[in-house]
Structure 1
């Protein structure tokens, strides 16, 4: 009877998540009225809560552990408080982002509970603390106007934090990415990437002259070099891609973008020559089966898990995700694909994509160049990190050791991502009062505007509420 319940439940979870995912894109239709959008968001909440309930009932059925039901109940209260508090405090909040954030965290808590209840409980505790802080971020963005004036403070604080890790950080899997304070492990690069975006936006808000570009590039390169010295190449790659994207958008000069790509390619070759663990990851990516006993073991186990799960998965607690090293962090997507199925995993990617599209949409609608660049930079940070994580576990690209935002285990990653979503919410809420600001506007290219209209990205922000 238990096996039948598990089998039926996995299909129900797939159906519920597919319905939720479709609603993520239905809300973008121009013909939607406010009432229709509100109905969509209510249905999304229902699908999320039913999926969450289904998953934890399966885990309880498989483990017969009543603590799991208690943990489930606390999470439900948490999600309801988050959704209702955003509505209460911020009438114009982007409900799609709130729903997606809660859905991704729900999936993360569910799969982590299956993998390690202790880690899931720790992740949930961090999420509660992070959300208490993040709920005040949109208000601070609205009230604090001098954030654009602290440009060099962002750079100094970011570089110092990265240097401390490079010098004093603990080595994990060949890279120095964290250090411990009072028994708490912190990964500063997760937070530095946020203030790095603020630094770049502040510099280009002041000017996009050649001199300003050179100065900004030198400081940005310093961030990347420190990360490379720490052997945190995944973080270095995120910083690099975010910078050249923001540089191109701020200046509109394609030669900067092309030059950045060429310099990045040269740097990748140099990193391959200098660092042995980079060569190990490239070898594992090229032909993991030939080195399955050593370098290719992790990626092979990931591919086996995804292949074994097929389209519809084996069911919660029916697979063997524990065979994948560091499965709770870097390879949580493989565990999801194995037990919940390829269809579920694809829906997960689509939900992440809808968040990314929302970030870009908000960035394009903002008039102030500083806010526009910050929203763009944070959107690229989020989207590229999802790409690196998923691409690494399916062998599309070499593994970079970054987490899947809001889903993977990792307190620093969870906290920084919740803050990113809160900052974007703040910009979304600010949109109506932006016309009275004296910020410098980015020059609009008529061809770019025409393309945006053709792709539907010239939609008013109100249509996405």
Structure 2
């Protein structure tokens, strides 16, 4: 499986150098084959280990979902980015494999959520493509974001020291995951409307309310993501480094305040500084995560050959550690590079869009995605303090999975818009070329019919000579 994901990752980046459509298609088909073979291999290993037919049944359902997703996107949206679809399915398959190995019931639930989310998200690209007034709902985006987060503060349940969501009809809902997308739309529509200082102050105040509510609910991971997304979008929209410096200064002060105000923040920082010294006082998670990564080595212990169950919340916050232990560091590094490949595509789409609103949306979603990947992997490897966020499309979690699928669907809609823009530009170029040729042809015809004195004199002389010739002929006849 290491070889297959390595080749897949190589194709993720080599495809950017291909300009021949046929070569790109062959590259994408190779990716599909590698993904399905890797998925099959992993489930065969799990079946042989457990001898449980439920694993085979779940495999068949998963492979149907992955194959159906690729086919439906290609059929419904011929202009879709196949690389983004392939990477989305690859990350889903990695998550399916690891969650099935850790907990079958969670894997079955994750499959159902993924299936529902993919069906829902199939309509999003056409909404992005057809609805042209999404940038006009600035106030609505701001209200929805703040109210959704405020509801969690009032009725939310506490999980690992933070108020993350609430339960409706037995379904756990984490609004902050969806609010991240709504927030990106709010900022993009605000910057499209105006980037004058007085308007930036209003936008910044609303963004600060989002962050403060998340801080009050102790969901510091989501607060940090929204803060960084806003700073990046602000800089790209205004090109003012002073805004970034001011934002970083405010963020640093906020981090110091959070350390002194919130006990669980102080605990996580102390654990990050010395996880083994605080092993019995909160450091158990990070210590076990580091043990797992070190035990796996470069090539991994193999499925069911490690002990990822000893890592707390291994299917959620620390799934990267579980993957590293049983699949190996090479596999884990390829996983990171696949995420980077997705981010490169997001930025590529953002840079080529001409509409400022859509450009900001693509940039904001890309930043949100890659920064969440950074927080998850950084927390698992002790690079930064653990923030309690999940690895997009890989970790177990319904709200996170749905929000990431929506994010990818929006990006697909923006990619289709970009293709439409390029086709429109090519069409206008051809129209201008045809108009230019038509003008040249008309000018040539006009020159042919234009009055020329010399030509008229020659013509008159020729007619006079012809008349004289006829007269002489008549005289000879007489």
Could you say whether these structures have the same fold, taking a TM-score greater than 0.5 normalized by the shorter chain as the test?
yes
2:94 maps to 1:107: yes
Answer yes or no: is the 8 Å Cα contact 2:79–2:419 preserved in 1.
no
Aligned residues: 424
Q: Cα offset for 1:25?
A: 0.3
Flag the 1:196–1:164 CA change in 2: closer, same or farther, 3 A: same
Cα distance in 1 for partners of 2:64, 2:250 equals 49
Answer yes or no: is the 8 Å Cα contact 1:310–1:338 preserved in 2.
yes
Match of 2:390 in 1: 403
Alignment RMSD: 1.0
2:116 maps to 1:134: no
Cα distance in 2 for partners of 1:296, 1:76 equals 38
Match of 1:354 in 2: 341
Correspondent of 2:188 among 201, 206, 210: 201
What SS does the aligned partner of 2:420 have?
A: helix
- CA-to-aligned-CA distance 1:177-199 (integer Å, 9 cap, x gap): 11011111000000000010000
Match of 1:22 in 2: 10
- CA-to-aligned-CA distance 1:241-272 (integer Å, 9 cap, x gap): 00011000001111001110111001000000
2:282 maps to 1:312: no
- CA-to-aligned-CA distance 1:143-177 (integer Å, 9 cap, x gap): 11111111110110110000000111000011001
Cα distance in 1 for partners of 2:416, 2:112 equals 28
Cα distance in 1 for partners of 2:421, 2:19 equals 25
2:124 maps to 1:146: no
1:307-386, aligned counterparts within 5 Å? 307-386=294-373
Q: Cα offset for 1:436?
A: 10
Answer yes or no: is the 8 Å Cα contact 1:158–1:192 preserved in 2.
yes
Structure 1 stretches of 4+ with a deviation exceeding 6 A read: none
1:228-377, aligned counterparts within 5 Å? 228-377=215-364
Correspondent of 2:54 among 67, 70, 89: 67
What SS does the aligned partner of 2:276 have?
A: helix
Q: Cα offset for 1:433?
A: 3.4
TM-score normalised according to structure 2 size: 0.88
What SS does the aligned partner of 2:281 have?
A: coil
Match of 1:186 in 2: 173
Q: Cα offset for 1:405?
A: 0.1
Cα distance in 2 for partners of 1:269, 1:190 equals 25
Cα distance in 2 for partners of 1:357, 1:261 equals 25
Q: Cα offset for 1:435?
A: 7.4
Answer yes or no: is the 8 Å Cα contact 1:119–1:409 preserved in 2.
yes
Which entry has the higher C-alpha Rg, 1 or 2? 2
What SS does the aligned partner of 1:306 have?
A: helix
What SS does the aligned partner of 2:111 have?
A: helix
Unaligned stretches of 5+ residues in structure 1 = 1-12, 438-465
Cα distance in 1 for partners of 2:40, 2:8 equals 15
Cα distance in 2 for partners of 1:104, 1:392 equals 19
What SS does the aligned partner of 1:296 have?
A: helix
Cα distance in 1 for partners of 2:252, 2:362 equals 26
Match of 1:164 in 2: 151
Correspondent of 1:35 among 11, 22, 25: 22
